């Protein structure tokens, strides 16, 4: 199999974005606060990276109100799932090929 580093998606180069995708991969949906607590990053930092993933079409945003307070929750799109799984596969084969 011919694997090159170019197969690694640019969107996943950043650790925060990789963390967001990992958390969303195992949760149906997560709100902003939960994500921030899991990742231990600042509001602004998290917002920037989510925006980027949203633009790629990997993450979907749903805004709603709970007890009159705005609540933003995030889910992974099927496209995001595909890209993330592909990324994992490439990571795996890179490590295997270098052993």
- Of 25 and 61, which CB lies nearer to other proteins in the complex structure? 25
- Of 22 and 72, which CB lies nearer to other proteins in the complex structure? 22
Chain residues 32-91 in contact with other proteins, contact rule CB under 8 A: 34, 37-39, 88, 91
5 near other proteins (CB under 8 A)? yes
Region binding other proteins by CB under 8 A among candidate stretches 24-32, 41-49, 58-66, 74-82: 24-32
- Of 26 and 44, which CB lies nearer to other proteins in the complex structure? 26
CA distances from 31 to 20, 25, 46, 54, 73 (A): 11, 14, 12, 14, 4
Question: Shortest distance, CB of residue 86 to other proteins, whole angstroms?
Answer: 13
The closest alpha carbon to 49, from 15, 24, 26, belongs to: 15
Contacting residues toward other proteins, per CB under 8 A: 5, 13, 15, 18-19, 22-23, 25-27, 30-31, 34, 37-39, 88, 91-92, 94-95, 98
């Amino acid at each position: 199999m011919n694997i090159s580093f170019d197969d690694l998606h640019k969107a996943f180069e950043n650790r925060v974005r990789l963390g967001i995708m990992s958390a969303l991969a195992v949760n149906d949906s997560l709100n902003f606060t939960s994500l921030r607590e899991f990742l231990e990053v600042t509001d602004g930092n998290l917002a920037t990276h989510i925006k980027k993933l949203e633009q790629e079409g990997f993450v979907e945003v749903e805004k709603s109100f709970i007890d009159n307070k705005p609540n933003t929750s995030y889910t992974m799109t099927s496209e995001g799932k595909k890209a993330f799984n592909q990324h994992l596969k490439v990571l795996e084969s890179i490590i295997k090929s270098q052993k």
